[in-house]
Chain A
Amino acid sequence: MEFNDNHVLGLKDLLYRMADDLLILGHRNSEWTGLGPILEEDIAFSSMAQDKLGQSLAMYEILHELGESDPDTVAFTRNAPQFHSCQLVELPIGEYDFSLVRHFFFDHQSALRIDMLTDTVVEPLQMAARKFRGEIKYHTMHADSWLKQLALGSEEAKIRMQQAINETFPYALGMFEPSKYENELIEAGIFAGEAVLQNTWLRVITEKLNAFGYTLPDINDVTPVNGGRNGIHTEFLQPLLDEMTEVFSIDPGADW
């Protein structure tokens, strides 16, 4: 089918959501480099950061093919209100319980979104999704094994993990804030939509959390923290961007 202007706008919004989430969470993950509670975790978060940056670059490249600026310009010269990332990814790394729970919520979302996109009609996105699938598998396996182990740990570990789950859940729901173009994306066969993704995600994580011995708050008692997809961010995003782009801003034309 021929795409009209709204289909293209919807596709761009979808790509920006994914690319910006991956860039910002990749940056946050990299903040554990050198600080992880044990060496293996230091390496794990650093590796996942690198995967996420690689994946975000691939998404920015598709956007570039669609007429947006080149990846460096898009990644390094926008301000917070121009980012389509959800608020979940910009929150500071906090304690390890929070970082692990965010990792669990985000990466299961990312894995399921990618799975849905392995048969999108948008060819470059379909090919990239088929590539990312195997990489993300290592991220979800890592998150699962830590949530499981900590549930079997001390009373303090269990309490802190459960508390992190309760506090992070409203932000996690913000990952699924509907796009203005949901109907266009669905009708064109680009993406089956945020609502479908959220339902699948809820089913998957509820099953896992229950099996590990945690409980997920009742979704009816929770207000999703939306806004990020429309450029409304917490006070934490702009300082992150300032830090991330500090070197680039000194000499934007520098040859690396």
Chain B
Amino acid sequence: MSISREAHIKETLEMVMDPEIPTISIVDLGIVTKISSEKEHTAYVQLTPTFSGCPALKIMEDLVQQALISAGYTEVKVETSFETQWNSNMISEKGREGLLKHGLAPPPKHDGYIELDVLSDIACPLCNSRNTTMQTPFGPTLCRSMHYCKNCSNAFEAFKPIY
């Protein structure tokens, strides 16, 4: 185990962006659940999916692999696991800002339980008004819901809260 190598791996992964949301890194998204390096030039990374059926996960595994090889690691192992289960509270503050930059409302924080009404007045990512309404809890990808802002008359998407 090497703290400095692990920190370096993490730094490298902070440059790997979500393929569907280029303004958030996979570290800020909270899907990197384990990093280790037993000896020089080796890296082990564990990822966990936001949703079990997320088709971007394979792509992210490849991106991690490529990024680490480019950063000088010769033995890279990337694994996907449910050992640590992702939930939307795992998105970092920086990650929430990244979602907003992409026009996506960040998910409301939850305390381990979700009812539909938490989606009823999501703040609009364009004008910040809470005078919004949810159109459907399902969207163009598994992790998004669709909303309408009654203040600025725009449709927008939100990253769904999930526990």
A and B interact: yes
Q: Could you tell me if A54 and B160 are in contact, using CB atoms closer than 8 angstroms? A: no
Q: Which of A43, A124, A128, A132 contacts B138 (CB 8 A)?
A: A43
Q: Give B158 Cβ to nearest chain A Cβ, in Å.
A: 13
User: How many angstroms from the CA of A237 to the CA of B83 in the assembled complex?
Assistant: 34
Stretch at the interface among B18-26, B46-54, B69-77, B93-101: B46-54
Interface SS of chain B: helix, strand, loop or mixed? loop
Q: Could you tell me if A141 and B53 are in contact, using CB atoms closer than 8 angstroms? A: no
- Chain A residues contacting B137 (CB-CB under 8 Å) are 44, 138, 141-142
- Chain A residues contacting B146 (CB-CB under 8 Å) are 40, 43
Q: Could you tell me if B82 and A127 are in contact, using CB atoms closer than 8 angstroms? A: yes
- Chain B residues contacting A160 (CB-CB under 8 Å) are none
Interface SS of chain A: helix, strand, loop or mixed? helix
Question: Which B14-68 residues have a C-beta within 8 angstroms of A?
Answer: 48-49, 51-55
- Chain A residues contacting B54 (CB-CB under 8 Å) are 54
CB 8 Å contact bits of A22-53 with B (1 = contact, 0 = none): 00000000000000000010011011101111
Q: Could you tell me if B138 and A54 are in contact, using CB atoms closer than 8 angstroms? A: no
- Chain A residues contacting B136 (CB-CB under 8 Å) are 40, 43-44
- Chain B residues contacting A127 (CB-CB under 8 Å) are 81-83, 85
Q: Give B61 Cβ to nearest chain A Cβ, in Å.
A: 14
Q: Does A70 contact B (CB under 8 A)?
A: no
Q: Could you tell me if B51 and A54 are in contact, using CB atoms closer than 8 angstroms? A: yes
Q: Does B86 contact A (CB under 8 A)?
A: yes
Complex: chain A residue closest to B48, CB-CB: A131
Question: Which B70-121 residues have a C-beta within 8 angstroms of A?
Answer: 81-83, 85-87, 114-116
Give 11 CB contacts A-B under 8 Å: A40-B135, A40-B146, A50-B53, A54-B49, A127-B85, A128-B82, A130-B82, A133-B163, A134-B87, A134-B162, A141-B115
With A52-B53, A131-B86 already in contact, 15 other A-B pairs whose C-beta atoms are closer than 8 Å: A44-B136, A46-B138, A48-B138, A54-B52, A58-B52, A58-B82, A127-B81, A127-B85, A130-B82, A131-B49, A134-B163, A135-B51, A138-B160, A142-B137, A142-B138
